[in-house]
Amino acid sequence: LAKMTPKVTKLWAKLVQSVPNARLLIKAKPFACPNMAAHFRQRLVMEGLEAHRIDLIPLDLATGDHLHKYRLMDISLDPFPYAGTTTTCEALWMGVPCITLRGKCHAHNVGVSLLTTVGLQDWIADDEDHYIRLAQEKAADLSALSSLRSNMRSKMRASRLMDGRGFVFDLEGVYRSLFRRYCTVGPRHIQVTKRTQAAANSSSSPESNETVNKNTKPSLTRERSQERDDDLKEFGTAT
């Protein structure tokens, strides 16, 4: 609920008012308290949103019950500037696409990263006006929204977001690049640069991705072991 700043509630109230028959549903632990729910509802009413279009519900104790609540939603709205992470992944997994606002740093752009990885770049807004326009456009095209929602989980499952082994393979490439820099120039000069990232990306070629997808873990292990042996021969044992 801390992410629901006055700026966020103002924008969301304006957005919901602009979409006919839309409702705003917010789920948060404090709403178990009737006084807190009434206070927060009044904040939205003061921004011009009718009380009957506001649904405030508390948390569920069981994960299954919590995830089941996503059936009540058609589109998820990412708060800003501090974007969601777990809730965005949950929404996507449960077939609810998310609109997020591009920001200036990592905490602002987690939603951007997640949606880009899943292939939903057209759900990323560049500014607040664009955020509202996106919501209006996506809500108006019910056929496209229904099609996306029915395929959202398979789309997410097939993306790099769900490729844990491929992610670790890339991460190991970054570690190896940092280790080689440490052995060459020392710890004071280590930093993650575009060149470091490029070195990591080069370790994840189409061939290596195909290896990952074919679930041949032993070959990855042997390859990394060979890289480690090569490093030890060149630089000696690291301490």
The 10s digit of each residue's pLDDT in 23-69 is 999 999 999 999 999 999 999 999 999 999 999 999 998 999 999 99
Q: Among 189, 166, 162, which Cα is nearest to 177's?
A: 189
Residue with tokens 């801390």: 2
- pTM of structure: 0.74
Q: What is the pLDDT of residues 57-102, one digit of tens each?
A: 999 989 999 999 999 999 999 999 999 999 999 999 999 999 999 9
Give residue 25's region: left, alpha or beta (phi > 0; psi -120 to 50): beta
